[in-house]
Amino acid sequence: MRNSEPDTLTSQWNDVLLRRRDILVFGIVAIWTSAVSYQLAASGLRHDYVAYVEQWAHILAGGNPWQIGGIPFNAYGPVHAVLAYAAIPSFLLPKYIFGLGFIILNFVFVALLLGKRRQNPVVDLLLYAFIVPLNFLIIGSVFLFGNNDALVAGLIGFGVLARMRGFLRIAGILFGLAILLKFYPLLLLPFLVFDRDRRWLIRPLIWTMSTVLVGAVLTSVRWGSSFLSAITGGSERDATILSILNFAREMQIDSSLYEWLVTWNTAFVVGAVALLLFLSVRYNVNWLVGANLAMLLTAALYKVGHQQFLVTWLVLLATLLVSNIRSGRFMLYISMPLVLFFSWYQYMFVEYWNVGVFWEEEGYFLRVWSGPIFFVSASTIVISTMLKYRQSRKDPQGEQSKTPFGP
């Protein structure tokens, strides 16, 4: 009994410290929430959101969302079109929805990190701070510009958390909605429904495809098959700033070679992700690590190189952090330089964009050299992670989650 008293006091003192730590952290979260909410409300219509408003106004006036004439090209899916009706009270309301979803997601991530009582979570909290709340790519894309990739990232993030908790039906529906908003999450789907030991989770796959099918049917009833132009038209787009193909064009490679690479880029991206899936199954790569790699590879290879695509990758990286997958720590750590690079990139992008010099000489490095930096960094992360799994594939314990979340 005498020996148990110090243990009891120590336990009680630890509980007090943990409560104080939690109060402090959530106090910081409240300050952050207030700051980004002000930014969200004060920033108004900017960047791509101006085009969104034109598209939604066109829809509310009775136009077809994918009728190119008279409105900016609509490369988005049916969910983006449906957001027009949410914009009836105010065209800023969808932007507020994007921001509110991210604020809730941030709160959930922090709560999960604080729930990791088995160890001191300070390191994980610091890593998370750089990945999400203090990353200017998040602040700029979500709360300043209101890019709809914020909603894609939110749907994927909540879907992953639902899968971790075993809510496979909800996970599938959320994945399906993400695909109906922007089509690139379809490339992530095989990874998101992979289990382990070369098995697949059928239930979330069925619910995802059912959601996509229902959405496609309802869209066809309302607007016909014109939404398919978002896919075919997207494949005809030219290379943009963060694409390695943009760098190749700036370096004045042979024009016929450039046109060939641009024309076949979509097929090349799909093929590269398919190869990654094959290797992931062969080496029994954890499903969440595979989804991270697939998102990073897609963004690095796709000719339309926009930094807002990486918002989804940052959210997937955050889910990898809170899931405590042991084999995912390696990828997490080697990804941090790229995480910090994109935070800097977005900050400079906003600075140059606001003063109108992004397309001038001042923005040359950002426009031209960020592409190869991203490509080399992403390639290094993907190849290094796959080699790590290849070396440790005989250790199945390294590829399973150690949390009670499940597969």
Sorted by where each begins, the domain ranges of the chain are 4-399
Q: Is the pLDDT of residue 1 over 70?
A: no
Residue type, 225: S
pLDDT of residue 115: 81
- Among 157, 173, 49, smallest CA distance to 103 is for 157
Q: pLDDT tens digit string along 94-147?
A: 999 999 999 999 999 999 988 875 556 788 899 999 999 999 999 999 999 999
* Overall average pLDDT of the 15-27 stretch: 74
The CA distance from 327 to 385, in Å, is 9
Specify the range with the lowest mean pLDDT, choosing from 13-17, 207-211, 343-347. Answer: 13-17
The CA distance from 366 to 151, in Å, is 26
* Overall average pLDDT of the 392-402 stretch: 52
pLDDT of residue 406: 35
Q: Is the pLDDT of residue 13 over 50?
A: no
* Overall average pLDDT of the 330-358 stretch: 93
**Averaged pLDDT score across all residues of the chain:** 87
Q: pLDDT tens digit string along 193-224?
A: 998 777 889 999 999 999 999 999 999 998 88
* Reported confidence tier of residue 18, pLDDT bands at 50, 70, 90: low
Q: Which residues contact 117 (CB under 8 A, 6 or more apart)?
A: 18
* Overall average pLDDT of the 247-258 stretch: 88
pLDDT of residue 9: 40
Q: pLDDT tens digit string along 289-341?
A: 999 999 999 999 998 888 999 999 999 999 999 987 888 899 999 999 999 99
Residue 21 structure tokens: 């730590």
Residue type, 88: I
Q: Is the pLDDT of residue 156 over 60?
A: yes
pLDDT of residue 345: 95
Query: Chain centroid to CA 284: how far?
Result: 23
Alpha carbon dihedral 330, 335, 337, 338, in 10-degree steps, equals 170
Specify the range with the lowest mean pLDDT, choosing from 18-22, 69-73, 173-177, 331-335. Answer: 69-73
The CA distance from 265 to 184, in Å, is 14
Question: What is the reported pTM?
Answer: 0.90
3-state SS of the chain is: CCCHHHHHHHHHHHHHHHHHHHHHHHHHHHHHHHHHHHHHHHHCCCCHHHHHHHHHHHHHCCCCCCCCCCCCCCCCCHHHHHHHHHCCCCCCHHHHHHHHHHHHHHHHHHHHHHCCCCCCCHHHHHHHHHHCCCCHHHHHHHHHCCCCHHHHHHHHHHHHHHHHHCCHHHHHHHHHHHHHHCCHHHHCHHHHCECCCCCECHHHHHHHHHHHHHHHHHHHHHHHHHHHHHHHHHHCCCCCCCCHHHHHHHCCCCHHHHHHHHHCHHHHHHHHHHHHHHHHHHCCCCHHHHHHHHHHHHHHHCCCCCHHHHHHHHHHHHHHHHHCEHHHHHHHHHHHHHHHHHHHHHHHHHHHHHHCCCCCHHHHHHHHCHHHHHHHHHHHHHHHHHHHHHHHCCCHHHHCECCCCCC
**CA atoms within 13 A of residue 7's CA, in its CB half-sphere:** 4
Residue 231 structure tokens: 């896919």
Packing angle, helices 329-355 and 287-301, rounded to 10: 30
Specify the range with the lowest mean pLDDT, choosing from 135-149, 223-237, 364-378. Answer: 223-237
Specify the range with the lowest mean pLDDT, choosing from 22-26, 70-74, 203-207. Answer: 70-74
pLDDT of residue 68: 62
Specify the range with the lowest mean pLDDT, choosing from 14-18, 140-144, 193-197, 236-240. Answer: 14-18
